[in-house]
Chains A and B, each alone.
Chain A
Amino acid sequence: MRLPPFALDEPESVPEAVEVLARLDGESRVIAGGTALVPTMRLGLIRPDRLVSLHRIEGLRAIRVERGALDVGATATLAALAGHGAVRSGWPLLARAAASVATPAIRSTATLGGNLCYAEAASDPAPALLCLDAQVRVADAMGERVVPIGEFFTDFYETAIVPGEIVTGIRVPSAPPGARSSYVRFCPRSAEDKPLIGVAALVTLDGSGRVSQVRIALGGAAPTPILARRAAAALTGEGLTEAAIRSAAEAAAAEADPLSDLMGSAEYRREMIRVWVRRTLLSLRVASGLEL
């Protein structure tokens, strides 16, 4: 089915892109990979009369390590991110989350920036980035600003960026040395699906095997991806014992604010958060910290 006609801008640099956006009135949208935007347009849910496509901005898709931190260009594809050697070794949590999205033909096209801007509650990369304390770089015609990932998602399908702004990149500091991480997504229906919930966990143990640093982030547990702070608190200073993990999982279930939809009721989501936080944390008892 054809998309409704629109005008297309194809800026070749970020300054050009934000300048175009600043000038526009009417209904315009930024398009990166288009894997979320195009179906939404085809179904008539949004009707932009203009799209500003980022595909010609070369530098925007780069993935670099700079001074120990990972810098992911906004239009880097999830496939590129998942397959990148430095990401897989230095930020396996993020690589794993990116690799789990949809199918190869979607990952080859979908971008990290686009995924974050779409702001699905159950986004796979989002919980990984929350655990890793990432920062989102946003630009408009006035300049740049940085939005910590924890402030980026504001509500159901809504973000902190405003019209005229584009995400230019995501900076991910290096994980604590010796950290173990795991990303697990749960699909109750077909094995190929959006997840009902996703759990990302990043844990560092001290010399005596107690948890010195921990972050647990959840997708699908609330209107936005969230950090499960109380779950993390329940685990801090404890060993990775079954009891401590169980109480962290309980805390996560309690602090969740899940929705009901066709995939599952809120009660079921809450129960799944309990189950999968527990299972994900249990998997971190193995030194290699591999996902289930």
Chain B
Amino acid sequence: MIPLDFTLNGRGCRAEAPAHWTVLDLLRDGLALTGTKDGCGEGVCGTCTVLLDGEPVRACLILAARLRGRTLITVEGLEQDGEPGALQATFARAGAVQCGFCTPGMLLSARALLAANPSPTEREVREALAGNLCRCTGYAKIIEAVLAAAGGR
């Protein structure tokens, strides 16, 4: 077992994981944070997207051992004082959530985009979210929601 000390959703976290566990295994099965999803195991679908030191990464591809000393944000960390954050609320109101399985990954990719580029064009939104597959929405309202979150807040 590898001891892990890292920052999780803004707070210090102490955990341990076997060497072969990925960040996704640790989140879902070690820390009961099931917001991050396991959709493909190949790094393609994007449902496991989390932010590691602010950058979007695939939790299913990163060994848990690499978390030591780093900062991790999951969908559970987007809440503010127990209430949905602005980006989350925008998604909900814009009809950008149908089955919701892609939603956590989408939110984190969008969050990373808006942190680096607060006023993206529609093209830039599409490129930033190209690694998050959605089968329900056709992406239309997701893109609208991200643009609305960028424009309004």
Q: Is A in direct contact with B (CB under 8 Å) within the complex? A: yes
Question: In the complex the two chains form, what is the Cα distance from A108 to B56 in whole Å?
Answer: 7
Please measure, in the bound complex, the distance between the C-alpha atom of A6 and the C-alpha atom of B19, giving whole angstroms. Answer: 7
Q: Is B52 located at the chain interface by the 8 A CB criterion?
A: yes
Q: Is A104 an interface residue (CB 8 A)?
A: yes
Chain A nearest Cβ from B57, distance in angstroms: 5
In the complex, which range does the number of interface residues on chain A fall in? 20 to 34
Is the Cβ of B60 less than 8 Å from the Cβ of A38?
Answer: yes
Query: Does B81 reach chain A (CB closer than 8 Å)?
Result: no
Q: With A4-B20, A5-B20, A10-B65 as given contacts, are A106 and B55 in contact (CB-CB < 8 Å)?
A: no
From residue B47, how far is it (CB to closest CB) to chain A in Å? 11
Q: Flag whether A103 is at the interface (Cβ < 8 A).
A: yes
Q: In the complex, what's the smallest C-beta–C-beta distance from A31 to chain B, in angstroms?
A: 8
A53, B65: Cβ atoms closer than 8 Å: yes
Docked pose: A165 CA to B34 CA in angstroms? 39
Q: Which of B19, B21, B43, B66 contacts A106 (CB 8 A)?
A: B43
A191 at the B interface (CB under 8 A): yes
Interchain CB contact (< 8 A) of A42 among B18, B42, B49, B63: B42
Residues 101-136 of chain B: 1 if any A CB is under 8 Å from the residue's CB, otherwise 0? 000000001001000000000000000101100000
Complex CA–CA separation, A237 to B58 (angstroms): 48
In the complex, whether B61 has a CB less than 8 A from a CB of chain A is: yes
A49 CA to B104 CA, complexed, in Å: 33
- B3 → A minimal CB distance (Å): 12
Whether B49 lies near A105 (C-beta < 8 A) is yes
Interchain CA distance A102-B49 in the complex, whole Å: 14
CA distance A201 to B63 in the complex (A): 37
B62 within 8 A of A: yes
The answer to whether A109 and B62 touch across the interface, beta carbons within 8 angstroms, is: yes
Flag if A8 contacts B41 (CB, 8 Å). Answer: no
Interface size on B, residues (CB 8 A): 29
B28 to chain A, nearest CB (A): 11
B65's closest neighbor in chain A, by CB?
A: A8
Complex: A174 Cα to B57 Cα, angstroms: 31
Residues of B within 8 A of A102 (CB): 131
B22 within 8 Å of A (CB atoms) = yes
Given contacts A109-B57, A192-B130, contact A104 B18 (CB under 8 A): no
Cα A75 to Cα B38 with chains together (Å): 26
The residue that A34 contacts in the complex, of B52, B55, B61, with Cβ under 8 A, is B61
In contact, A105 and B2 (Cβ under 8 angstroms): no
Using Cβ atoms and an 8 Å threshold, which residues of chain B touch A106? 43, 58, 131
Closest to B133 in A: A192
User: Known: A2-B25, A53-B63. Contact between A105 and B19, CB under 8 A?
Assistant: no
In the complex, chain A residues whose CB is within 8 Å of the CB of B63: 8, 31, 34, 51, 53
- The answer on a CB contact under 8 Å between A103 and B130 is yes
Question: Known contacts being A105-B46, A108-B55, A108-B56, is A1 close to B38, with CB within 8 Å?
Answer: yes
A262: min CB distance to chain B, Å: 15
Q: How far is the CA of A79 from the CA of B58 in the complex (A)?
A: 14
C-alpha gap A109/B62 in the complex (Å): 8
Contact sample, A vs B, 5 pairs, CB 8 Å cutoff: A3-B20, A34-B62, A104-B55, A105-B109, A109-B62
